[in-house]
Amino acid sequence: MSNVAAKPKPASGRFAFLRYMEINPVLIKDLRQAAYSWTVIGSVMLMMVVFYFIAVAFLLNGEFSDRSRNYMGPALYHSVSIVMMITTFCFIPIYVGVRTMLERTSINADLLYITTMSPARIIRGKFISGVYLVLLFYSAAVPFMVFSYLLRGIDLPTIGLSIGLFFLVNIMLIQGAITLATAPLTIVFKILVALFIGIPAIITAISICFGSVVGYELTRIMGRVDFWKEFMPVAGMIVMDGALFTGLMYQAAVAFVTPASANRSLPFRRYFTFMWLLLGIQFMIWGWVIEEDEVVLTFLIGTGVLVFLGMWFGIGGRDDLSARVRKQIPESILSRSFAFYFYNGTFSCLLWLLGIWMGTMVMVGICNFFWSQYLTRSFLGDEPELLYLGTSLFILYAFAYALFSIWLQRRWLSRITPKLACLFFFVLTVIPYILIQIVSLIVTQDSIDSDIPLPGVILDLFNIFDHYSRFGYHLYYHLAAVLVMIGFGLLLNLKWIQSQISQFTPFTKPTTMPPPSQPEPHAGEPPPVID
């Protein structure tokens, strides 16, 4: 009988799905660490002590006041809500984000990132553990919130809706913290992003949630006769949008954790395309129902900002495809041509973002057509060039700057990280406009006039938007300039583009060559002695 233990057979057949029902090991690990963490336990106990004193204070105040005229329920609920929001919105995202960031550092690298668990399972475990912490804190706060109902002045539906709003915002902040913690940035940059983006996001979330409760917005809305007809579709839309953006941050975190040799761009680009299409349809229908073109313009501007940022940061990735990725490339030419836009690669990323923007223009154009036919007016009145050409120029300039940035990085600093292309993009966007302004101040003692076009300078487009009635024709100067820049950038990167396209072929296993034969020893000579 052999002493070697038999390897366990993987689950197969009809019971293969049971493997995905097992408890996430990352979830167990994080919950055990939280259970033994005095930071978590101390925060929960401190919050409960504050709630206790708040409740006692309101009860004592009620004994010495006129109960018939003073309903203390809203005041108690507002006090408990603001304490809970400050605690959960600030403490839990920071706690989850810091622990995740420390596990990702090279010094304290956690073993879970080198196991056979998939990156999606790791991020999912981190997210669910954060949700469990939220439920822990909410389990201590919700009884005090419900207790405010007994003090009159606030109803249970308002309490339930506000708690649901708090919970939705909380899970978005948790996923945002996880995404920032796993991002391929240094600790200094992560801290800067947390200070300039994370803290304002938390303050904005607290302001929105607090205003909806303290300002009695929910109470006013629920008092309307048409509450279920008007508010509930809006609430459903808010929940759907929150879930979509949370999923986007989740896909980004999974891509950050995924090894560079894997096809980490495919899930993210596929999800973003789906989210963009769903949000576009939603905003078009919403703007049509309420007859407000600003809703559609919000979608247009938001998509433009995301595409611009995507071109900025997307040019700092790897260009080579590993054998692991090439094995997933489809065999057919038609499927391969479609899959090219969703696989790893800088040039494919730029083309994919251009496709997103072209699709946005088509959606807005179709909506504008039906809008003008049935609602007797169109977007922006008599200024369609500003809507279509003006906004598209930002994306075209970003594409041109991206091509030049890639060429500069590959031509002069190819041995250094490709992330330097992002720095070149920023320099090409900002520096020319600043230099022109400095020269104008030195020569004319005044800033550059808005009536002087600056083709090739993207920041000059803002002057055209401000003075479109007088200098709208400057858009065509910029159009000619950006088309020349794109053509020149494509010529500079022609070999690189050809290599990007040529390498996108299915992986073929190389043929093995037979080992070279050893020469036979000469006759009469002994064979060589191997020492």
Residue boundaries of the structural domains of the chain: 23-258, 291-505
Helices (H), 111-226: 119-150, 156-182, 187-193, 199-214, 217-222
Tens of pLDDT along 213-227?
655 555 556 555 566
In whole angstroms, give the CA distance from residue 222 to residue 252: 37
The yes-or-no verdict on residue 491 having pLDDT over 90 is yes
Least confident of 284-288, 304-308, 347-351: 284-288
pLDDT at site 3? 46
Scored b (16 or more CB within 10 A) or e, 259-282 reads eeebbbbbbbbebbbebbeebbeb
pLDDT at site 6? 45
The yes-or-no verdict on residue 512 having pLDDT over 90 is no
Amino acid (1-letter code) at residue 357: W
Least confident of 28-42, 66-80, 85-99, 407-421: 66-80
Q: What is the mean pLDDT of the chain?
A: 82
For a pLDDT cut of 70, what percent of the chain falls above it?
82
More confident residue, 233 or 498: 498
Predicted TM-score (pTM) of this structure: 0.84
CB-side exposure of 342: number of CA atoms within 13 Å?
A: 17
Longest C-alpha distance within the chain, in Å?
Answer: 123
Q: What average pLDDT does this structure show over 409-432?
A: 88
pLDDT at site 5? 43
3-state secondary structure of 447: coil
pLDDT at site 517? 57
CA-wise closest residue to 90 among 245, 203, 247, 176? 203
> Angle at Cα 248 formed by Cα 417 and Cα 379, nearest 5°?
105
